[in-house]
Structure 1
Amino acid sequence: MSDKVEAHVLGHETETPNSESTEDLSRERANRNIGSARPFLSWFDPNDGPAERRLILKLDFFILSYAFIGFWVRNLDRDNRTQILYIDRGILANAYISGMREDLKLFGNELVRLNSLFTAGYCISMIPATLLVTRYPANYVVPTAMFLWGIFTLLLYRTPSYSYLAGFRFLVGLLEGPFFCSVHYVLGSWYRGDELVRRAGIFYVSSSVGTMTTGLLAGRIYQSLDGANGIAGWRWMYIIAAIMTFPVAVWGFFSFPGSPRHGKRWFFTEAEVELAKERMELEGRLHGKALDLKWATVKRFLGKWHFWILVPWNIMWLLGYQSLNQGAYTLWLKAQKQYSIVQVNNYTAISPSLGIIWILLFSWTVGRCGKNAVVPLIGSVAIVGVISRFAFVMFDHTSFGYKWFAVAVSYMEVSLSPVNYSLANIACAADSQERAFIISAMLATGTAFNTWVPLLAFPTVQAPRYFGGYVTEVVLQFAYAAWTVIVIWFVKRESRVKEAAST
């Protein structure tokens, strides 16, 4: 606990306090009595004081506004890969079905290869990017990367060939690497465990909004701008996505706070920074020195259960919805001759629209009910995932409506992202270096698998059937749900050990 907090706890006063010490003595202390009977829709804990609530609202506005809008434009700019993530369509998928395939003669497996190249760049930069964010303020690192990926997205509108497209998609992926891990690291640097999952959920809603907007925007662009100034509609998609990225990057320089160890930003008072640090001290989430990747440090990380349990868990989750990542459902819609290109682009918004509901419901449930809700929740989602996959596993024997059901619920498993990464943030709370490493390793390792597994499971020439790919996903749904039981057992065991040590 800081000297300022200690002085307040002891109630020391001087006869002639200066303005700074007066502020210290009057500063509200952090909530030490987190309520267990918190209403489901309550935004604050009942025991949070006025100053703490003001701090939380500032954090919500400045962190979540940039994280939300940034992830939204990221899902506009990116191809149809998700890292972790996440979405089944983006500009590349919509451009592909809107004339790119014919213009660039992409009649083979070029789409899945483009996905893998993007993902390769993405996973390469994740861990180095997290290292940068622990050393330098995130409000410099992340917006700079965003501005650069906007430039390369803009350049993509001039794509003359597959090789040009492949090279620039790799660079866009490389520059998007810092964003997701850095945001989760920053969330875990400011919010308590009872606040974290909900904020992560709101952050992740932007992936659904971005995906939904991409489909609707792509349809409108193709309808209104195809051929304008001699430019094809799919090229206009890249121009508009890039233009929307630049102001968001600039906003990040002013709004994104980084972590408490990087000091006060213009929108915090000194008292609020001290209160924020006290909140994290009470959580056992301390901010040590910047992350380095010396062998001794990595060996320390590998000596704990977090890496060996959380990383495989995340790999199973990511690979469990490759069909979404590969735009498989978009290609099925494209194969339905009764739908025009504009209709297909518009229909791709249905799944992420429902995803907004799933994300908020899942994150609020875990935020309110805690770790006990995780296994039932993920088990239920896995059951729905298996049922929906059989609509395509048994492609020739299932109805058109059943397949549409699978398309509609396809965002459900993706919506568990806030749960996965918030659990990692909480599990590694006591070691900020390990927390940064584990979050980035979960994403980087899972994404590395996503560079090559889809080449085998979802080759574009097999669209829209993908029998082997959907069977693989069915197996992974069961594996992910079963591994969740192991994850929660380890998390609860560690909690018991910490409680016993503190008594």
Structure 2
Amino acid sequence: MSLKNWKHLVWGKPHASKRENVLLAKIDWFILSYCCLMYFSNYLDRSNINNAYVSGMREELHMFGKEINNINTIFTCGYIVGMIPNNLMLQVVSPRIWFPAMQIIWGILTFCTSVTKNVEQIYAIRFFQGMAESSTFVGTHYILGSWYKPEELGKRSGIFTSSGLIGTLFSGVLQAAVYRNLNGVAGRSGWRWLFIIDGIITMPIALYGFLVFPDLPRTTKAFYLSQEERTLAYERLEEVEALEQAKSRPLSWNLLRRILSRWRYYGCSLLFAISGETESFGSSNIMGQWMKAIGGFSIEQIDYYPSGVTAVAIVSTLVCATWTDHAQVRWPVLVFMSVACIISAICLLVWSSPIGLKFFAFYLAGASYAGQATTFAWANQICADDDQERAVVLASMNMWNNVVNAWWSIVFYPATDAPRFKKGMIAMICASVATLWITWLVYYLERREWRKRRRLEDGVDEGVDEKKNGDQTLDDPTSNEKKDQTVN
């Protein structure tokens, strides 16, 4: 395969219009650069609470039992509360203002975490931090769906999702470096310095967003886009007149009735509510807790080695997202992810398996993250004809996933179950099998909707053709002569 073909496979074929290629390059740079940096800082902080726990925070704050699970659950509760309001606010307040404002709030709260004296203070901070951070993930997927065509969306969603995973990867490396070089400096523990550095990283990114983020295509005033490019950004996505009408609807209670009367809300929400739990090994740092519990590993090793899970997640996400844009089908990625997680859980469930196989199983579980970008690209595609529905469905998907997250780790992955996490391994197998079934259900419902839409369109076309033929007969001056000849 030539270099040109590889480029087309990875980034998609260039558009026929040079103007559209230039526009796409600009929005790729400014939208993806800010959203990826924002999500990087988001996940850097989110992951660092687990890294801090195994790097001295537990001992210094006298944490015991399931308190680390409680911290994550309280964060999730704040995340749930802020989800849909944050996404709807993007239709009221300029995203260029809303995103950086939320980022500044969680950056300040990150600084506050570095001076906490007890676990109760962390509980309060994490709840409000969850509310602020809930603007990022689904908000960005809504923005991406507003700027990109379906065949452009998968790889951009994959790049965005990978930026959060890079934050997780960098978190372990950063914690190890901080522990080695800053632990005890100015009388502060290494884990406290970690949150200070997080906050310092976050603030300049927020300022960058204020300056360059382009808002939505129909409202953008970005200085780097000409008026012609702003018009093109909106018009290139308008394939049917109905889509423009749907995007101009004002917010009203009719939105609720419209959404709840369709299958999309239920199908997409159920899909990510369950499939998202296949990420539990990575999100709960099960590998780090396993290594700490069995002993024989240094703190730096406990920080470094789980980064392999994240590395697999990044590669899987980018490869699968790129492939879905090329093939224009999303469901095979969820099948791949589910099968990988089933294999991983079985290997870990058999406790007599060698250490090397357990390392392999933990790393293989990183493939679970490949479904995240694909699932949201799929939902963006399903709801492309209704902008408001799309905003709510994307938020609802992440909201219901976090509703499950709020109790999932406490029930199936409590810290007291380390190192075996037997319940968690069984739960992983069940969640993966359920994901396979729900994937088929969404695929079936989407195809049924397509068939129904085609039948309606064909009926309209036939009606239009019949009307045209009737009008031509009425207007044809020879038609009466033909009738007279037939009578005679």
Query: Could you tell me whether the CA contact under 8 Å between 2:218 and 2:230 is conserved in 1?
Result: no
Measure, in 1, the Cα distance between the counterparts of 2:243 and 2:204. Answer: 33
The change in CA–CA distance for 1:46 and 1:495 in structure 2 (over 3 A counts) is: farther
List gaps (5 residues or longer) in structure 2: 459-488
**From 300, 303, 327, the counterpart of 1:342:** 300
**From 360, 367, 370, the counterpart of 1:415:** 370
Query: Could you tell me whether the CA contact under 8 Å between 2:333 and 2:370 is conserved in 1?
Result: no
Determine the structure 1 residue equivalent to 2:469: none
Greater share of helix = 2
Measure, in 1, the Cα distance between the counterparts of 2:337 and 2:34. Answer: 29
Determine the structure 1 residue equivalent to 2:483: none
Within a 5 Å distance, the mapping from 1:307-326 to structure 2 comes to 307-326=265-284
Measure, in 2, the Cα distance between the counterparts of 1:485 and 1:401. Answer: 34
Query: Could you tell me whether the CA contact under 8 Å between 1:359 and 1:415 is conserved in 2?
Result: yes
Determine the structure 2 residue equivalent to 1:19: none
Determine the structure 2 residue equivalent to 1:365: 323
Report the alpha carbon displacement of residue 338 of structure 1 after superposing the two structures with TM.
Answer: 2.4
Measure, in 2, the Cα distance between the counterparts of 1:75 and 1:291. Answer: 34
Corresponding position: 1:265 with 2:222? yes
Query: Could you tell me whether the CA contact under 8 Å between 1:138 and 1:258 is conserved in 2?
Result: yes
Corresponding position: 1:254 with 2:225? no
Query: Could you tell me whether the CA contact under 8 Å between 1:44 and 1:53 is conserved in 2?
Result: no
Determine the structure 2 residue equivalent to 1:229: 186
Report the alpha carbon displacement of residue 353 of structure 1 after superposing the two structures with TM.
Answer: 1.5
TM-score of the pair, normalised by structure 2: 0.89
Report the alpha carbon displacement of residue 218 of structure 1 after superposing the two structures with TM.
Answer: 0.5
Determine the structure 1 residue equivalent to 2:339: 383
Determine the structure 1 residue equivalent to 2:195: 238
- Give the residue type in structure 1 aligned to 2:189: A
Determine the structure 2 residue equivalent to 1:288: 247
Measure, in 1, the Cα distance between the counterparts of 2:423 and 2:189. Answer: 35
The SS at the match of 2:247 is coil
List gaps (5 residues or longer) in structure 1: 1-36, 79-89
- Choose 255-264 or 308-317, whichever is displaced more: 255-264
Report the alpha carbon displacement of residue 108 of structure 1 after superposing the two structures with TM.
Answer: 1.1
Measure, in 1, the Cα distance between the counterparts of 2:204 and 2:388. Answer: 32
Deviation per residue, 1:407-458 (Å, 9 max, x gap): 2122211121111001111101111010000000111111111112222112
Corresponding position: 1:477 with 2:435? no
Percent identity of paired positions between Structure 1 and Structure 2: 30
Measure, in 2, the Cα distance between the counterparts of 1:177 and 1:403. Answer: 33
- Choose 433-442 or 249-258, whichever is displaced more: 249-258
Report the alpha carbon displacement of residue 285 of structure 1 after superposing the two structures with TM.
Answer: 4.9
**From 47, 50, 58, the counterpart of 1:93:** 50
Deviation per residue, 1:275-328 (Å, 9 max, x gap): 11111102775462477463x321210100101211111111122332322221
**From 33, 49, 64, the counterpart of 1:107:** 64
Over aligned residues, Cα RMSD in angstroms?
1.8
Determine the structure 1 residue equivalent to 2:168: 211
Within a 5 Å distance, the mapping from 1:94-173 to structure 2 comes to 94-173=51-130
Query: Could you tell me whether the CA contact under 8 Å between 1:118 and 1:172 is conserved in 2?
Result: yes
Measure, in 2, the Cα distance between the counterparts of 1:72 and 1:263. Answer: 24
The change in CA–CA distance for 1:234 and 1:408 in structure 2 (over 3 A counts) is: same
- Choose 374-383 or 361-370, whichever is displaced more: 374-383
- Give the residue type in structure 2 aligned to 1:349: S
Deviation per residue, 1:53-109 (Å, 9 max, x gap): 00000110010000111111111112xxxxxxxxxxx11111001100000111211
Determine the structure 1 residue equivalent to 2:448: 493
Report the alpha carbon displacement of residue 45 of structure 1 after superposing the two structures with TM.
Answer: 2.8
